[in-house]
Structure 1
Amino acid sequence: MSSLTVTGVTKSYGATPVLTGVDLHVPGGGFTALLGPSGCGKTTLLRLIAGFDDPDTGTVDVGGRLVAGPGRSVAARRRRIGFVPQEGGLFPHLPVAGNVAFGLPRRQRRDRGRVAELLALVGLDPALADRSPHQLSGGQQQRVALARALAPEPSLVLLDEPFSSLDASLREETRQAVVDALRASGATAVLVTHDQAEALSMADEVAVLRRGRLVQLADPRTLYRSPRDLDVASFVGESVVLDAEVRAGQAHTALGALALERPCPDGPARVLLRPEQLRLAPVEGGVPVARVRSVDFFGHDARVRLELPSGLACSARLEGWDLPVAGEDVSVRVVGAALPFPAGAPDAPAVAQVRGA
């Protein structure tokens, strides 16, 4: 198992800076997701790690070996890095076995036993070895691409949005197969994605990039529950952001007085709630009242869009079996504590709103 360490990496294309001083460490055997909106620099960072391009400044170290830095650039093919591109990138003229064995030393390419082992590792029937790529489903093709990347036992595996072209059911199944295969192989892995659910469910740690900077690196629970700022909070899942006045350890908001998850000085603030913290019930005295504007039903749960008398819009996330209807007035109760951000905190949105909906 090899670790990955990126230190002070910058990259510009012409006069446009793409990465501005990125530091990242992935321990040996770890799985880190690079998460961020389009244009934040995550794919560029992956390309620099892979050796497809060189950083302007900074270093890349794989398993204690400097592969990129001042006066040093190890060719991509010599870095012992496996790469799984967005569309799998299988060779259409080769059968599955030929694709899987492509990265092996020449003397091992005819080893059917090794191919069978690799197919089994990624959850595929070895009987698929003689099929052509076009005879496989999208999820099967992505697993073959992973088997090909794992075949030469690389130090590191890089995955560039490998599930983006799959439908919902295939995506979830393929994600789990990929995670299982990487765990079984002991490989260190880095995944690029813009899908928050994908990053949170798959990775040991999630690195959030914004405008070419790594703004937070944390395990999924910490990232979701304690985001660094409101921009990170709004990108990693849905959020309800309220104006508040903090007094004596409580935030007074349009949803009433809320307990705080951490200390905050008295005065104006913004507070963060997650939609699943809101509970709805028939109107009761003394409880904030909201009007249901719409209900988005997903089967297992639903998003209920609300409007408070102040005009504030927010959303509650509820189980799908007992839901209000549009136009109904409901009381709103908050479960758990709110995360405060004092007024003037960096990256705070300008107005209260539901984010990420």
Structure 2
Amino acid sequence: MSSLTVKDLTKSFGATPVLTGVDLHVPGGSFTALLGPSGCGKTTLLRLIAGFDDPDSGTVAVGDRVVAGAGRSVPARRRGIGFVPQEGGLFPHLTVAGNISFGLPRRQRRDGGRVRELLALVGLDAHLADRAPHELSGGQQQRVALARALAPEPSLVLLDEPFSSLDAALREETRAAVSRALTASGATAVLVTHDQAEALSMADQVAVLRGGRLVQLTDPRTLYRRPGDLDVATFVGEAVVLDAELRGGRAHCVLGALPYEQASAGAVPDGRARVLLRPEQLRLSTPAGAGSVARVQGVDFYGHDSRVWLRLPDGGQVTGRLDGADLPAVGDDVTISVRGTALAFPAGDGGAGPAVAAKGALRAPAPLS
């Protein structure tokens, strides 16, 4: 296994900058996810690491070996890097065994034991070795693509959104199989994804890219619980962002006087601020006692849990995440209490507006009459 070190990497296409001074270190044997919205530069970064493109400046090193920059550019085929593309990229005229053994020396290609070993590693039966790619499911094809990438025993494996074309159930199953195979192989892995759940569940560390810059690099729990700014917070999971005033050790907002912690970006002085809560921190009860009264606007039921849309007294809207039992009905008045602490950011930080549930994929229900 080898580490990956990227230093001050830049890349432009024509007059358009795509990456601007990216620094990234991936420890040997670890799994890192490059997470960000479309157009943030994550696939370009992966291609520079793989050797499919050359950087304008900066360096890429695999272990102690500089493979790009500093006056050198090692060809992709000589970098010792395995690559799994988005659609698998299997050769349609070759069998599964032929695909897996394609890049191996002739002696190893003749040895069926290596193919059986790799099929077992990615969780596939040996009887699939003689099948053509079109006879496999999408998840099986992606596992074969991973087996092909692992066949030469690379020290680094790159995965470019390999699960995006799979349906939800197959995606979960394939992700788990790929994660187990990478762990068993001991290879260092870098995954490009725009799927937050994928990044948080699979990776040892997550690198968040925005506008061609790496804005936060940390472990998944820290990223979710202590995001570097509100833009990261609202990208990595659903978020409730509220205007507040900090005084007396409390954040005073529409949900009451909440205990809070300072965001990792630095100390936030008393006065105007914005606070972050996660929807699962909201607790609902019948209107009685302390708490902020809100009206239920909608309920999205998912079985294992539900999203509840809530209209606040000031006209703002938030969402809560509850388990699937004993849900309120649309039109009910409920009291909102908060479990745990809020995270305070400067008043001018980005993210959603006052008293809203921030998440690009969410669509609010129509207001009640």
TM-score (norm. length: structure 1): 0.98
| Counterpart among 345, 357, 360 of residue 354 in structure 1 | 357
Name the structure 1 match of 2:365: none
For the 8 Å contact 1:35–1:195, the answer to whether it is kept is yes
* 1:20-99 equivalence runs, <5 A: 20-99=20-99
Q: Distance in 2 between matches of 1:302 and 1:197?
A: 17
Say yes or no: does 1:277 pair with 2:281.
yes
Say yes or no: does 1:329 pair with 2:333.
yes
Question: Per the alignment, in what secondary structure is the counterpart of residue 232 of structure 1?
Answer: helix
Q: Distance in 1 between matches of 2:24 and 2:269?
A: 32
Name the structure 2 match of 1:303: 307
Question: Per the alignment, in what secondary structure is the counterpart of residue 291 of structure 1?
Answer: strand
Tell me how far 1:246 sits from its aligned partner. Answer: 0.6
Question: Per the alignment, in what secondary structure is the counterpart of residue 97 of structure 1?
Answer: helix
Question: Per the alignment, in what secondary structure is the counterpart of residue 94 of structure 1?
Answer: coil
Structure 2: 5+ residue stretches without partners: 363-369
Say yes or no: does 1:340 pair with 2:315.
no
Question: Per the alignment, in what secondary structure is the counterpart of residue 261 of structure 1?
Answer: strand
Q: Deviations over 1:10-63 (max 9, x none)?
A: 000000000000000000001000000000000000000000000000000001
Structure 1: 5+ residue stretches without partners: none
Q: Distance in 2 between matches of 1:178 and 1:153?
A: 15
Question: Per the alignment, in what secondary structure is the counterpart of residue 93 of structure 1?
Answer: coil
* 1:207-222 equivalence runs, <5 A: 207-222=207-222
User: Superposition RMSD on alpha carbons, in Å?
Assistant: 1.0
> Kindly tell me: are residues 227 and 220 of structure 1, through their superposed partners in 2, closer, same or farther at Cα, counting changes over 3 Å?
same
For the 8 Å contact 2:84–2:149, the answer to whether it is kept is yes
Tell me how far 1:349 sits from its aligned partner. Answer: 4.3
Name the structure 1 match of 2:198: 198
* 1:123-202 equivalence runs, <5 A: 123-202=123-202
Same amino acid, percent of matched pairs: 76
Tell me how far 1:348 sits from its aligned partner. Answer: 4.8
For the 8 Å contact 2:242–2:353, the answer to whether it is kept is no
For the 8 Å contact 1:249–1:264, the answer to whether it is kept is no
Q: Distance in 1 between matches of 2:247 and 2:69?
A: 51
For the 8 Å contact 1:81–1:156, the answer to whether it is kept is yes
Tell me how far 1:91 sits from its aligned partner. Answer: 0.5
Q: Distance in 2 between matches of 1:154 and 1:34?
A: 20
AA aligned to 1:275 is: P
Question: Per the alignment, in what secondary structure is the counterpart of residue 114 of structure 1?
Answer: helix
Q: Deviations over 1:311-337 (max 9, x none)?
A: 110000000122111111111010000
Tell me how far 1:350 sits from its aligned partner. Answer: 4.9
Tell me how far 1:118 sits from its aligned partner. Answer: 0.3
Q: Distance in 1 between matches of 2:123 and 2:351?
A: 45
Say yes or no: does 1:10 pair with 2:10.
yes
Q: Deviations over 1:257-291 (max 9, x none)?
A: 10012364210000000000000111113321011
Tell me how far 1:344 sits from its aligned partner. Answer: 2.8
Comparing 100-109 and 296-305, the one that deviates more: 100-109
TM-score (norm. length: structure 2): 0.95
AA aligned to 1:319 is: D
Q: Deviations over 1:135-168 (max 9, x none)?
A: 1111000000000000000010000000000011
Name the structure 2 match of 1:316: 320
For the 8 Å contact 2:316–2:354, the answer to whether it is kept is no
Tell me how far 1:191 sits from its aligned partner. Answer: 0.1
Q: Distance in 2 between matches of 1:20 and 1:330?
A: 48
AA aligned to 1:306 is: L
| Counterpart among 281, 295, 298 of residue 291 in structure 1 | 295
